[in-house]
A and B are shown apart, each in its own frame.
Chain A
Amino acid sequence: MNTVLSRANSLFAFSLSVMAALTFGCFITTAFKERSVPVRIAVSRVMLKNVEDFTGPRERSDLGFVTFDVTADLQTIFDWNVKQLFLYLSAEYSTKNNALNQVVLWDKIVLRGDSPKLLLKDMKSKYFFFDDGNGLKGNRNVTLTLSWNVVPNAGILPLVTGSGHVSVPFPDTYETAKSY
């Protein structure tokens, strides 16, 4: 501590240690918080096509198109340790080929400071809803749920499912000729 550099070194190291302790404190105050909120999803239209799956072997697979509405209030999830939320809508169903299929249809990033009330109507899916085979035709139970990943400033990234889901039956016939 007898030279300026020695004092500067000591001061800086102490500041960094204090900053690390504060960051840990920030994490601890929000680590055990409940991050699930009620979500309302409604599906307005379902269409089914049977096309060649360009992502895999050249056989025809089912391709689904879903138009949906999402309503949720995410305000209580945001606190001082949340940087952004990564929302995604996933469809879950089972077929002859596979017991469990989960496909992400749509996602969105909600930053801190963006409007947290989600009121989306007539959204088209962002990603192709391909099935591994032809299991969507006539499928009685395709469940859509909204989940999110909480991206914090410090700490763990929890994956939370919203409470509220909707099941839609898929049509028995394929649409032809009409493009989406």
Chain B
Amino acid sequence: MGRSKAALLPASSASIFRTRTRSFAAAGGVSTRARRSGREAAAREISPPSSKAGADFGSQDAPEVSPSEACASQGGAGNSEESSESGEAAGEATSVASTMLDVFGSIPTQMDYKGQKLAEQIFQGIILVSAVIGFIYGYIAEQFGWTVYIVMAGFALSCLLTLPPWPMYRRNPLKWLPVQESGSEDKKPAERKLKRHTKS
């Protein structure tokens, strides 16, 4: 289990895992810390970081918290550990089953910065356009109720488009530094990276 964690994941072949690879690389700082606590913790740690650590980047959570709390909440964590430990070839059969549970664990819920900006522009644009249309239609039809209905429809549409983290909001992921192999000086750059993240 080696130098780059990315080597493990393509065994399961789903594109979800590919995404996970990218965001896992983003959480590279976290993984170095986990690896110190042992190989098991590191293996368990494969599935959570994409969902939990990423979402927590925006908050003040310390990096140590994410793997452990993610592990506790991930039902599929045990399965992925199993699939990684038993080896890629032998784990093909179990990995199908684990894929099902892992799917839920690995759905990424964060957006990157450009994606957030895009989401904000999208919903502001949709609501403003529906407001203008609604105002004009209500004036013509002489019913203010229609204005309200059209604005509510615009609200529902923009909820649908911007609330779930669609892939189009993840097209500019952050470029993290590559994983550094040796010891304690990894902590500082990783922490600093995360701290910078949380400040914005």
Residue contact A2 to B110, C-beta cutoff 8 Å: yes
Determine whether A3 belongs to the interface, using a CB cutoff of 8 Å to chain B: yes
Q: Which residues of chain A come closer than 8 Å to B155, judged between CB atoms? A: 11-12, 15
Q: Which residues of chain A come closer than 8 Å to B139, judged between CB atoms? A: 29, 80
Interface centre among B57, B110, B144, B164 (most CB of A within 10 A): B144
Determine whether A177 belongs to the interface, using a CB cutoff of 8 Å to chain B: no
Determine whether A138 belongs to the interface, using a CB cutoff of 8 Å to chain B: no
Q: Which residues of chain A come closer than 8 Å to B141, judged between CB atoms? A: 80
Which residues in chain B, 113-148, are within 8 Å of chain A measured between CB atoms?
Answer: 116, 119-120, 123-124, 127-128, 131, 134-135, 138-139, 141-144, 147-148
Bound Cα distance from A80 to B147, whole angstroms = 10
Residue contact A25 to B127, C-beta cutoff 8 Å: no
- In the complex, the chain A residue whose C-beta lies closest to that of B109 is A4
Q: With A7-B162, A8-B163, A80-B144 as given contacts, are A2 and B135 in contact (CB-CB < 8 Å)?
A: no
Q: With A7-B163, A11-B158 as given contacts, are A79 and B142 in contact (CB-CB < 8 Å)?
A: yes
- In the complex, the chain B residue whose C-beta lies closest to that of A12 is B155
Determine whether A123 belongs to the interface, using a CB cutoff of 8 Å to chain B: no
- In the complex, the chain B residue whose C-beta lies closest to that of A2 is B58
Which residues in chain B, 145-197, are within 8 Å of chain A measured between CB atoms?
Answer: 147-148, 151, 154-155, 158-159, 162-165
Q: Which residues of chain A come closer than 8 Å to B116, judged between CB atoms? A: 1-2, 7
Range class of the B interface residue count: 20 to 34
Bound Cα distance from A79 to B131, whole angstroms = 19
- In the complex, the chain B residue whose C-beta lies closest to that of A1 is B116
Determine whether A46 belongs to the interface, using a CB cutoff of 8 Å to chain B: no
Identify A14's interface contact among B109, B123, B164, B165, CB under 8 A. Answer: B123
Q: Which residues of chain A come closer than 8 Å to B162, judged between CB atoms? A: 7, 11
Determine whether B55 belongs to the interface, using a CB cutoff of 8 Å to chain A: yes
Q: Which residues of chain B come closer than 8 Å to A11, judged between CB atoms? A: 123, 127, 155, 158-159, 162-163
Q: Total interface residues on A, using CB and 8 Å?
A: 24
Residue contact B151 to A3, C-beta cutoff 8 Å: no
Q: With A11-B123, A11-B158 as given contacts, are A2 and B144 in contact (CB-CB < 8 Å)?
A: no
Bound Cα distance from A12 to B127, whole angstroms = 10
Determine whether B111 belongs to the interface, using a CB cutoff of 8 Å to chain A: yes
Identify B55's interface contact among A3, A14, A15, CB under 8 A. Answer: A3
Residue contact B58 to A22, C-beta cutoff 8 Å: no
Q: Which residues of chain B come closer than 8 Å to A80, judged between CB atoms? A: 138-139, 141-144
- In the complex, the chain A residue whose C-beta lies closest to that of B140 is A80
Give a binary string over A1-37; 1 marks a CB under 8 Å from any B CB, 0 the rest. 1111001101110110011011001100100000000
Q: With A2-B110, A80-B139 as given contacts, are A8 and B159 in contact (CB-CB < 8 Å)?
A: yes
Extra contacts, 9 of them, besides A2-B58, A80-B143 (Cβ < 8 A), are A2-B57, A3-B55, A8-B163, A10-B120, A21-B131, A22-B147, A80-B138, A80-B139, A154-B144
- In the complex, the chain A residue whose C-beta lies closest to that of B128 is A18
Determine whether A153 belongs to the interface, using a CB cutoff of 8 Å to chain B: yes
Bound Cα distance from A78 to B151, whole angstroms = 23
Determine whether A81 belongs to the interface, using a CB cutoff of 8 Å to chain B: yes
CB distance from B70 to the nearest CB of A (A): 16
Which residues in chain A, 63-91, are within 8 Å of chain B measured between CB atoms?
Answer: 78-81
Q: Which residues of chain B come closer than 8 Å to A14, judged between CB atoms? A: 123-124, 127
